[in-house]
Structure 1
Amino acid sequence: MNHLNKLVVIRGAGDIATGVAVRLYHCGFQVVMTDIALPTMIRCSVSFAQCLYDTSKEVEGITAVKANNIDEIQPILSEQKIPVIIDPDLAILKSLKPTYLVDAILAKSNIGFKKELAPITIALGPGFNAGQDCHAVIETNRGHYLGRVIYTGFTMENTGVPGNIAGYTYQRVVRTPCTGIMQSCVQLGDIVREGDTIAHIDATPVYAPLSGMVRGLLNNGLRVEKDFKMADIDPRGLKADYTTVSDKARSIGGSVLEAMLHLSLSLPK
């Protein structure tokens, strides 16, 4: 591939990474995503990583397909689909040589990401020093600066507080009460009442902390540690939307596109 190919590799395929992928796909970029073998996102209905459990996953009319090896990537791209491959260490970069690389695992720290990995590197959220670790970093904290593109320095520090929905922040996030195997009693989109049993971790029941719609839920069968984020209850109930990309993910996706285009101007033609 030439130096200015339109290939983008996104590290991570959860809901924020998927929002980025959707915006770039619609702008004509070829998108390849990587993740771990058993992704632990909870917003499975809007995460392309779900295809690693179900072989394929459609979000807003775009289909992602599991690529079992690097040889399957190009055929999937030729079908106008997004390949998702198990490759948390980005081994595929050596062969694919993309122009753009986006770290979207939102680990709140830099896990092996380097500016030298691609001609243009962009990271999401705290833990990255733009200009040193990557060419640009995107602010992911909700508020006035959400989506801000930073070319020198850091984003805001992680607050640890989920976004406010109908007056609820940390209350709507359900965490595991113990270590064990996740088994849900509900599905994404279900309406629950405060106190309803929504899952079990081994034999220990997990109760809904408030009434609303189940907007996030771990895949069944995953082994989790105590206090792991396992579900999200949206207090808006039936007014909530668990089937489309969130406003936050869509905003961050637009900012990634801005950074890509801006940084492309300085690349050799």
Structure 2
Amino acid sequence: MRANPLILLRGGGDLASGVAYRLRKVGLPVVITELAKPLAVRTTVSYGMAAVYGAVIIEGIVARRATLANLPELYAMLDAGIIPVLIDPEGASIAALEPAVVIDGRVAKTRLDTHIDQAPLVIALGPGFVAGEDCHAVIETNRGHHLGRVYWRGSAEPDSGLPANLNGRQAERVLRAPCDGLVTQVAVIGCVLREGQVIARVGETPVHAPFDGVLRGLIDDDTPVVKGMKIGDLDPRVRREHCFTISDKSLAVGGGALEAVLAVPLIRAILNVRQSWSAEHKRA
């Protein structure tokens, strides 16, 4: 299998962006694929939003919309340390770019169209995948003792369906669509809200703040959603700066993905990653 020295990350939401950040910070070339209208909730820390906005900067790293029709521009972005973001829900870029690594960061909790022979190394985030069958490695995304752990056999823990408990608030932190329709934002991420304030509308139906807190996430305007779908995240700690930085969970998952990439000698060779100092020292 031919493989080019780059990493293709499917999905650019907040968890996948933790992966992209870790990989890019150590100099590895990353390309993100996204929907034309991403479903990210924490849009201020999601590189995939470049698909909509054209470009975003998150913690000093630039992501910019790109196209397979202009590969020289895409590779120039990589050379400049920029993360190209392709609108490619079908994954056509896998065949076009022939990456050394494919990472499924969509966190769909089911395998979808990812399979183990798409690249020399295929990694998946979270439940729904079996390492050794659907992909080569799975990264644990469930909070707790195993968060960020790399599984080379077996699966991640089942989805708990609950966010982290913050100041006694858990399930109610997640804002869900009350009906099918298009989202209209009323508040913006970073706003400090009082219980009962209108955060957004789905169609004509308002979504109210269930408690006092800071709005940490809200799906983009004019995004079509279905009843029960997650559309926002309210944080009772009221730490506004948390709204604009990558979370501890995303960074932990990103660290696991980085470990999985660098653990495979073939991938290190393709990506031109030098061996560790200790290995070189032993040969000297």
User: Above 0.5 in TM-score?
Assistant: yes
2:121–2:267 contact (8 Å) kept in structure 1: no
AA matched with 1:33? I
Distance 1:97 1:165 in 2: 42
Q: TM-score, normalised by structure 1?
A: 0.95
Counterparts of 1:146-157 in structure 2, within 5 Å, are 146-157=147-158
Q: Which residue of 2 aligns with 1:49?
A: 48
Distance 1:35 1:170 in 2: 28
1:92 CA displacement: 1.1
AA matched with 2:64? V
Q: CA RMSD in A?
A: 1.8
AA matched with 1:157? P
1:2 CA displacement: 7.1
Distance 1:267 1:246 in 2: 27
> In structure 2, the residue corresponding to 1:77 is in which secondary structure?
helix
Structure 1 residues not aligned, in runs of 5+: none
2:124–2:138 contact (8 Å) kept in structure 1: yes
Counterparts of 1:105-184 in structure 2, within 5 Å, are 105-184=106-185
1:189–1:215 contact (8 Å) kept in structure 2: yes
AA matched with 2:118? L
Q: Which residue of 2 aligns with 1:100?
A: 101
> In structure 2, the residue corresponding to 1:110 is in which secondary structure?
coil
> In structure 2, the residue corresponding to 1:251 is in which secondary structure?
helix
Distance 2:162 2:148 in 1: 17
Distance 1:87 1:109 in 2: 19
1:186 to 2:187 alignment = yes
Identify which range, 174-183 or 207-216, moves more after superposition. Answer: 174-183
* Alpha-carbon displacement from aligned partner over 1:5-50 (angstroms, at most 9, x marks no partner): 5410000000111110011001111000001111111100000111
Check 1:102–1:195 CA distance in 2 against 1; reply closer, same or farther (3 A cut): same
1:264 CA displacement: 2.9
Q: TM-score, normalised by structure 2?
A: 0.90
Aligned length: 268
Distance 2:128 2:2 in 1: 31
1:24 to 2:23 alignment = yes
Distance 1:250 1:11 in 2: 17
2:193–2:215 contact (8 Å) kept in structure 1: yes
Check 1:226–1:147 CA distance in 2 against 1; reply closer, same or farther (3 A cut): same
Aligned-residue identity in percent: 42
AA matched with 1:172? R
AA matched with 2:29? Q
2:262–2:268 contact (8 Å) kept in structure 1: no
1:239 CA displacement: 5.6
> In structure 2, the residue corresponding to 1:99 is in which secondary structure?
strand
Q: Which residue of 2 aligns with 1:61?
A: 60
> In structure 2, the residue corresponding to 1:242 is in which secondary structure?
helix
Structure 2 residues not aligned, in runs of 5+: 271-284
Check 1:70–1:127 CA distance in 2 against 1; reply closer, same or farther (3 A cut): farther
Distance 1:209 1:253 in 2: 31
Q: Which residue of 1 aligns with 2:216?
A: 215
Distance 1:193 1:165 in 2: 17
Check 1:129–1:183 CA distance in 2 against 1; reply closer, same or farther (3 A cut): same
Q: Which residue of 2 aligns with 1:244?
A: 245
AA matched with 2:201? H
1:169 CA displacement: 1.4
Distance 2:243 2:255 in 1: 20
* Alpha-carbon displacement from aligned partner over 1:113-153 (angstroms, at most 9, x marks no partner): 11100001110000101001111001110001111110011
Distance 1:60 1:261 in 2: 23
